[in-house]
Amino acid sequence: MSEAVAATIIRETPLPPGNHGTVAPMAVVTDPVDLSVVIPMRNEEDNVVPLYEEIREVLEATDLTWECILVDDGSTDKTVQRAIEAFSGDPRLIFVTLRKNSGQTAGLAAGFERASGRLIATMDGDLQNDPHDIPAMIAKLDEGYDLISGWRKNRQDKLLSRKLPSRIANRLISKFTWTPIQDFGCAMKVYKREALEDVSLYGEMHRFLPALCVWKGARIAEMAVNHRARIHGTSNYGLVRTIKVLLDLVTVKFLNDYLGKPLYFFAKVAFATILAATAMFVIAGLQRFNVLWFGNDPPPTLTGNPLMHLGLILIGITVQIVLFGVISELLVRIYHESQGKRPFRVREIIRMGDRSHASDHA
């Protein structure tokens, strides 16, 4: 890095042994601010400079003290370099660079970990979200809510590849999580800091953040926000993401409903399989005594009736598949939470100017 760039780079050092929770906090010495804006981004070299310029213009017109945390999720272009060159003297800009592409959930978790604001706003780094919505969302938050979620009412995306799958996923998520919002995929959100406390993020859970907060007791509202067409770069989302959303929905639903009482889930599965197997056993018994047998040959013996074997196989296979899936999800949760494992690795923290000093633990 050139010496002309007035930025401080804080490199990571390992935490001492021990349990540090789902996401181990950094020991960052910095003054609290009113608002932290957290933006995960990857390969947005043409968007990062105009994005921060617009954020700065909007927030400087308010009375808020603020910081902007850009989380570089393993970019392979010049996203970080262009931001440093353009804003090297601005102490409100913080860059968190991850060692590799870890996904939007990990990017948000890394940003939340370092945010010092009493309010935390999130948005995408592709210029499709409008920073001018932030003050209005904060005003809405002051009406007694803990979380304001954006709704891309006039979404500027392709219908078949983006909007239609998103609508299907949103309806499913809203129905199964009992969270009354229409657009879970909108990155434009503003949280009170306490709404995010004790909320665990890993996998692809960022889509379910509103539901996770509501389950923790947060009061939520949704408001329409401006959505703009993408000008630079390409989207990282597609139809495959819809399948991932559905799989994550199963995980979230299970963790919310059955994490504290998994025996209830096992009992439901066991009841269904036993009921089906019992029906097959009864039919096989009735056939054995020629009650339900209409063939010309003698009815088969119980041990020779395929229904008996099918019932036994159904019990074994169904229970094993379901239990293996559930146990796997529980093991992932234990892996992240009990051992303090994080779904990302930080390469460096870049603080513009000389506002504070910090030590990074990863």
Instruction: Give pairs for 265-270: CB < 8 Å, separation 24+.
Output: 265/326, 266/323, 266/326, 269/318, 269/319, 269/322, 269/323, 270/319
Residue 68 binned pLDDT confidence (cut-offs 50, 70, 90): very high
Residue 111 near residue 69 (C-beta atoms within 8 A): yes
Mean pLDDT of 92-111: 91
Summarize the confidence of residues 103-117 as an average pLDDT: 91
Q: Which stretch of 16-20, 183-187, 230-234 has the lowest confidence by average pLDDT?
A: 16-20
Q: Which residues pair with 349 in a beta bridge?
A: 10, 96
10-19, 132-141, 175-184, 254-263 — which one is most confidently predicted on average?
A: 132-141
- Residue 309 to residue 335: CA distance in whole angstroms: 38
Q: Is the pLDDT of residue 237 over 80?
A: no
**Average pLDDT, rounded, for the chain:** 79
Neighbour-count burial of 115, counting CB atoms closer than 10 A to its CB (0-12 exposed, 13-18 middle, 19+ buried): buried
Mean pLDDT score, 249-258? 74
Sign of CA dihedral 220, 164, 185, 150: negative
If we measure between CA atoms, which residue out of 121, 50, 49 comes closest to residue 81? 49
What average pLDDT does range 194-220 have in this prediction? 84
User: Is 174 buried (19+), middle (13-18) or exposed (0-12) by CB count in 10 A?
Assistant: middle
For the beta sheet containing 220-224, the strands, ordered from the edge strand earlier in sequence to the opposite edge, are 27-29, 357-361, 7-13, 346-352, 93-98, 66-72, 33-41, 117-122, 189-192, 147-151, 220-224
| Contact yes or no for 344/98 (Cβ under 8 A) | yes
The distance in angstroms from the start CA to the end CA of the chain is 23
For residue 241, pLDDT over 70 is answered with no
**What value does the mean pLDDT take over residues 36-47?**
94
Task: Give the pLDDT score at 155.
Answer: 79
pTM of the model: 0.69
Calpha distance 46→243 (Å, rounded): 30
Give the list of residues 6+ apart from residue 309 with CB closer than 8 angstroms, or none.
none
Angle at 183 between CA 148 and CA 219, to 5 degrees: 30
pLDDT surpassing 50 at residue 361: no
The C-alpha R_g of the chain, in whole angstroms, comes to 26
Overall average pLDDT of the 62-88 stretch: 92
> What mean pLDDT comes out for the span 303-330?
80
> Quick one: which of 192, 223, 224, 196 has its CA closest to 212?
196
As a whole-number percent, the residues of the chain with pLDDT over 70 amount to: 76
